[in-house]
Structure 1
Amino acid sequence: MDLSVDRTASGREYKVNDISQTGLWTELALAKMEMRSLETVRTKYGPNHPLKGAKITVSIDVTTPARVLIKTLNNLGAEVRVCSRGTHSTNDYAAAAIIAGDCASVFAWNGQTPREYVWCMERALDWGQRGGPDLIIDDGGDITRLICEGIKAEKMYEKTGQLPDLSSRGTEDPKLQVMLTNIRDGLKSDSQRFHRMKERLVGVSGMTTHGIQMLWKMQADGTFLEAIGINDSPIKRMWDNWYGTRLSLVEGLRRAFTGDSIAEKAAVVCGYGEVGKGCADALKEARAKVFVTENSPDYAFDALVDGFPVKPIDDFISMADFVVTTTDYKDGITVEHMRKMKNNAVICSIGQFDNDIDMEELETYPGVRRITINPQTDKWYFPETNTGVIVLAEGRMMNLGCATGHPSFVESCPYTDHVIGLLELWKLKDGRTDA
């Protein structure tokens, strides 16, 4: 993708896969009908425009429900710039529909490289001379991490003249490598960019476990500002993590294989938190034979009580027809695991941070061949056997890479939490505490 900003006739900035691919407006109307809690927010707060003047950056799954959220923010008076919260978390037609509806500036497309992904985040944070956004919705934690790393680098550069170390522990993450590279390259020309952003920023509404843990750490370090973690909302954890994956996992599997049967096949779910529970339930309802791997004794006990056999991954790997990772446990599935799997076994991830499946090791395996079966569905052949495994969405979030994400009704609850969180944070701008 050419990394240059496009503009609509009205001057709104964007970068999407295909501006003409706007999808069905009927789908948007149905989504609005399903998202009744957001409709209630618009009805109750909209006439007073409580977010008037707010510049909001939104990092989220760019889907049809996201357009309803963005339109709600518009109704409450806000201006919005949007990027995806992952390299494979965009429905291209939804991104185009947001531009066509003139709701927000959007920088998102499905199947981004790490460089493209970080570029989109930087565009979503770019409010010109305004110095950055007033508020942020951060679904995945990456856009918060970008700001945090920028602040840390600027402090270090001001104190010692030292640039970010791209070889330090933890920087093997390709996205973080790109973030640090861009921060390093921008320091000499503007060494206060992220500090200005911090000074303007009123607060963040965060929605993932990892992102919330990062916010707590930054708060302890004195690095960041006010934040509301809606991830701890019982509605969010149950609806989004459990019910959402329960509905979108099987949709992604069936779309990737044009309806291939799941029944009577062996499915291994790696992890049994809320997301893992939803995946196991979905596969069980599809009549698969479900097995669970889990490191936590508490969660392993939950799986046993729910009737699922629990063992280490090595005990299940050779019998698996499907392997679904949910844990964000780095390199939980390695090439050695893949070489032990059946021919045409399917591997996919529904975890947040794209690191469960060691794709780098697979891509660099000597003699490996990659054949695309369907979009986001690839078979990788090992040279020793000329057999191999099928990987969905390049090892990233398959329920968005191969399907359309969580249903509108499920997303309505956490998105409403986001809006209420922003309303509370926006009061802090003037030191207000009234309702």
Structure 2
Amino acid sequence: MTSTLKDPGLAPAGHAKMDWAARHMPILGAIRRRYQTDRPLAGQRIAISLHLEAKTAVLAELLALGGAEVAITSSNPLSTQDDVAAALAERGVTVHAWRGMSDEEFRAMHERVLDLAPTLILDDGGELTALLHDRRQDLAAGVTGGAEETTTGVTRLKALARAGRLRYPMVAVNDAEMKHLFDNRYGTGQSTWDGIMRTTNVVVAGKTVVVAGYGWCGKGVAGRAKGLGARVVVTEVDPIRANEALMDGFEVLPMRRAAEVGDIFVTVTGDKDVITPEHFARMKDGAILANAGHFDVEIDVRGLERTARAQLPGRNPAVRGFVQEDGRALWLLADGRLVNLAAGDGHPIEIMDLTFGLQALSLERLTRERPAPGVYPVHPEDDRWVAALRLEAVGVEIDQLTPEQERYLASW
């Protein structure tokens, strides 16, 4: 297959990014050494929809080294790094993505990766699975299984499974302990603020930050905001999580009241219409709106455009100002898409090393075990192997249970 790129000439800069990332990914490095000799994915065809930047490219190259034919597109129109895409294409992976794809181009490139007739898929948000259960049902029978990266995608998979429609097994990588405890909390927490701060260049300390949603991602965003010196307000619909946020030291308000006090708003709920014109009307002049959830539906961007009497350019293309009828300006980051990827470099390298290690191991296990259609957890052995290797990589030793302790814990 021929790659679809913006500019193949950007490859040298992409190679440098990939090499830098690989040096900081010991888990993928350990898998890579085994894959180069054992080639456990020989004969497999893998279609990937993930944010196409350097860490993802290292994973895609690893799967190709394991013997698979690999085609990749981006799971977000604004998260592709064109230099990395060009470099990955030079390393033997078919790439169909570029930064700034239109919605139509975005959908067309997902169709292109499925033209591979995949036996395995790696999905982020359920885009490939949605196509395989709708327009490309002819290919679903050939899919051995796959892995899903994010909370939103797992939610969609479970809905398909409940309806009895999921046609192949999928591993919910997002739900693994080494994923949601670290990727969602520390990865989203750090990368979201990296995207906001590099885009706006405003101070966070002393401001009021409103975090919509207190799942693992929301915990990370709120915790990092607190560490940066912000006053943090959490909005929630789940009374248990609202209590957790309260006991973690954060103020909890409904969005209609939080809208009046917030300086920076970050949505991380996975749901639509979290911030709407009702809330825009209550916000301060200069309020900043950012989304860290998978889809660009949490902030009602169309409603923001509709209620504004004028638009203003920001300090860079990732910032747009919307002047309200009374003269207040609200600033939207990254068009309401994932601010940490559309306006930043995504999660830290070491964090994605954990998640992508689980992705590779889960695909490999699917080729051996061939389970029935359904949503499956990451195998505990794979989760613990990644955890142990991470500790080894940073030079940390832990205690081991003695046989007597194991017997005690197993007894009644």
- Report the TM range for the smaller structure's normalisation: 0.7 to 0.9
Corresponding letter in the other structure for 2:27: S
- Distance in 2 of aligned mates of 1:205 and 1:39: 20
| Correspondence for 1:206 | 148
- C-alpha contact (below 8 Å) 1:328/1:354 kept by paired residues: no
Counterpart in the other structure of 1:107:
96
Match of 1:219 among 156, 161, 168: 161
RMSD of Structure 2 on Structure 1 (CA): 2.0
Distance 1:326 1:388, change over 3 A: same
Match of 2:292 in 1: 350
Q: Which residue of 2 aligns with 1:175?
A: none
- C-alpha change, 1:401 and 1:364, in structure 2 (3 Å) is same
| Partner SS, residue 348 of structure 1 | strand
> 1:73 and 1:272 mapped to 2: Cα distance?
34
Please report how far the alpha carbon of residue 124 of structure 1 lies from its aligned counterpart in structure 2 after TM superposition. Answer: 1.2
* Residue identity in the other structure for 1:139: D
Match of 2:64 in 1: 74
Aligned to 1:235: 178
CA shift in 2, pair 1:203/1:287, >3 Å: same
Query: Normalising by structure 1, what TM-score?
Result: 0.81
Name the CA shift for 1:364/1:14 in 2 (closer, same or farther; >3 Å).
farther
Aligned match of 2:4:
15
Of 82-91 and 392-401, deviating more is 82-91
Task: Report if the CA contact (8 A) 1:111-1:401 is conserved.
Answer: no
Are 2:206 and 1:264 aligned?
A: yes
How far apart, in 1, do the equivalents of 2:278 and 2:370 lie?
A: 53
Match of 2:218 in 1: 276
Compare 221-230 and 345-354 and name the one that shifted more.
221-230
Contact 2:289 2:332 in 1 (8 A): yes
In the aligned structure 1, how far is the partner of 2:370 from the partner of 2:255?
50
Sequence identity (%): 32
Match of 2:353, SS state, is: helix
- In 2 relative to 1, CA 430–363 (structure 1 residues): closer, same or farther, beyond 3 Å? closer
Distance 1:286 1:273 in 2: 20
Instruction: State TM-score, norm by structure 2.
Output: 0.85
Q: Could you say which residue in structure 2 is the equivalent of 1:395?
A: 336
Q: Which amino acid aligns with 1:125?
A: L
Specify the alignment match of 1:147 in structure 2. 132
> Which residue matches 1:247?
190
Note the C-alpha offset of 1:120: 1.3
- Tell me, yes or no, if the aligned pair for 2:32 and 2:62 is still in contact at 8 Å: yes
1:162-207, CA deviations, whole angstroms, 9 ceiling, x for partnerless residues? xxxxxxxxxxxxxxxxxxxxxxxxxxxxxxxx33301211111112
Q: Equivalents in 1 of 2:23, 2:331: separation in Å?
A: 37
Q: Post-superposition shift, 1:339?
A: 2.7
Q: How far apart, CA to CA, are the structure 2 residues paired with 1:418 and 1:325?
A: 26
Alignment of structure 1 residues 307-386 onto 2, 5 Å: 307-365=249-307, 367-382=309-324, 384-386=325-327
State whether residues 152 and 270 of structure 2, in contact with CA within 8 Å, keep that contact through their aligned partners in structure 1: no
CA distance in 1, matches of 2:6, 2:81: 10
5+ residue gaps, structure 2, are: 373-381, 383-412
Q: Is it true that 1:39 corresponds to 2:29 in the alignment?
A: yes
1:216 Cα deviation after fit:
2.9
After superposition, the C-alpha distances for 1:136-158 in whole angstroms (9 at most, x for unaligned) are 000221111121123xxxxxxxx
Structure 1 stretches of 4+ with a deviation exceeding 4 A read 428-431
CA distance in 2 between partners of 1:104 and 1:237 (Å): 28
- Unaligned 5+ residue runs, structure 1? 1-11, 151-193
CA drift at 1:286: 1.3
Instruction: Give 3-state SS (helix, strand or coil) of 2:8's partner.
Output: coil
**What's the CA shift for 1:218?**
2.8
> Which residue in the other structure is 2:18 paired with?
28
Question: Does the 8 Å CA contact 1:202/1:428 hold for their aligned counterparts?
Answer: no
Tell me, yes or no, if the aligned pair for 2:209 and 2:262 is still in contact at 8 Å: yes
CA distance in 1 between counterparts of 2:179 and 2:131 reads 24
Does residue 126 of structure 2 align to residue 136 of structure 1?
A: no
User: Secondary structure of 1:20's partner?
Assistant: helix
Q: CA deviation at 1:373?
A: 3.1
Superposition deviation, residue 208 in structure 1:
1.9
- Cα distance in 2 for partners of 1:430, 1:405 equals 32
1:60-79 C-alpha deviation (Å, 9 max, x unpaired): 01111011101110110111
Code of the aligned partner of 1:105? T
**Does the residue aligned with 1:413 lie in a helix, a strand or coil?**
helix
Residue 430 of structure 1 and its aligned partner are, at CA, apart by: 12
Aligned match for 2:52, one of 28, 42, 62 = 62
Matched residues in 2 for 1:57 and 1:217: separation? 22
Corresponding residue number in structure 1 for 2:353: 412
C-alpha separation in 1, matches of 2:49 and 2:127: 8
Contact 1:34 1:409 (C-alpha < 8 Å) held by counterparts: yes
Letter matched to residue 123 of structure 2: D
1:230 positional shift: 1.3
CA distance in 2, matches of 1:319, 1:425: 49
- Mark the CA change 1:430 to 1:405 in structure 2 (over 3 Å): closer, same or farther: closer
Distance in structure 2 (CA, Å) of the matches to 1:322 and 1:57: 37
Tell me how far 1:321 sits from its aligned partner: 1.0
